[in-house]
Amino acid sequence: MIIQGTETLTSLIHILSESLLTPVVILLVVSVVIVILSFGGLINEYISRKPIKSNELEELIRNVSFSNNVSEMKNKIEDSNLFSYQKEILIRIANNHDIGSDARKALASELISSEETRLIKRTNKTDILVKVGPILGLLGTLIPLGPGLAALGSGDILTLAESLTIAFDTTVTGLSIGALSYLISKYKKQWYESDLITVETVAEAELEAINKW
């Protein structure tokens, strides 16, 4: 039973609800494309990634710790199997060997923090789709059910079947987007966290060695 005086409002809501179906489907298609590209990027990054091994990291830390000057330290870093962005951070720290120890430590912290922010941004899209994907799927499920149930009341089975097909398809698509986005973000964040820990470890050895000079 519709409360008297609300017919216009409910009709407006009904029109708005049905008009959202097309944008929802478009957003789902765009999200699918983004997830596919992100998944391809994940596979490519996995294949091309060659993180430094534990024994190599140990050797690098010893080499950095026993360096006698900046040039020797930078050469050891350049010759290591670190990623280029890791080397860049460590070399920038070494280049500032002539400033105070506190300022140098603060600079190192800021460089690592900035790199962490940059890496986090690389997972922003999939982080958003983890939540947005299922929401779009739910919207795509509920919106067609209204016309479908109305068609059922009038005995129009064909319209009901079409509405249910759209509802189930959007649900599966939305959940798939959310699941794949979660996996992509999870693995990338694990990689980046490990990379940053490596940088922090070498940076500590680097700062300690510089303080001895």
Give the chain as a DSSP string: -PPTT-HHHHHHHHHHHHHTHHHHHHHHHHHHHHHHHHHHHHHHHHHH--PPPHHHHHHHHHHHHT--SHHHHHHHHHTSS--HHHHHHHHHHHHTTTS-HHHHHHHHHHHHHHHHHHHHHTTHHHHHHHHHHHHHHHHHHHHHHHHHHHHHHTT-HHHHHHHHHHHHHHHHHHHHHHHHHHHHHHHHHHHHHHHHHHHHHHHHHHHHHHHH-
Between 187 and 1, the more confident residue is: 187
| Cα separations in angstroms, 20 against 56, 86, 136, 156 | 56, 46, 10, 23
| Averaged pLDDT, 114-137 | 93
pLDDT beyond 70 at 7: no
| Averaged pLDDT, 113-121 | 92
> What percent of the chain shows pLDDT beyond 90?
62
pLDDT beyond 60 at 3: no
Write down the pLDDT at residue 212.
81
**pLDDT tens-digit series, residues 66-113:** 988 999 999 999 999 999 999 999 999 999 988 888 999 999 999 999
Mean pLDDT of the chain: 88
> What percent of the chain shows pLDDT beyond 70?
89
Write down the pLDDT at residue 144.
80
The Cα 197–Cα 61 span in angstroms is 13
pLDDT band at 18, cuts 50/70/90? confident
Maximum separation of any 2 CA atoms in the chain, in Å? 88
Write down the pLDDT at residue 22.
87
pLDDT beyond 60 at 138: yes
The Cα 35–Cα 33 span in angstroms is 5
Residue with tokens 């596979």: 43
pLDDT beyond 60 at 4: no
Write down the pLDDT at residue 143.
83
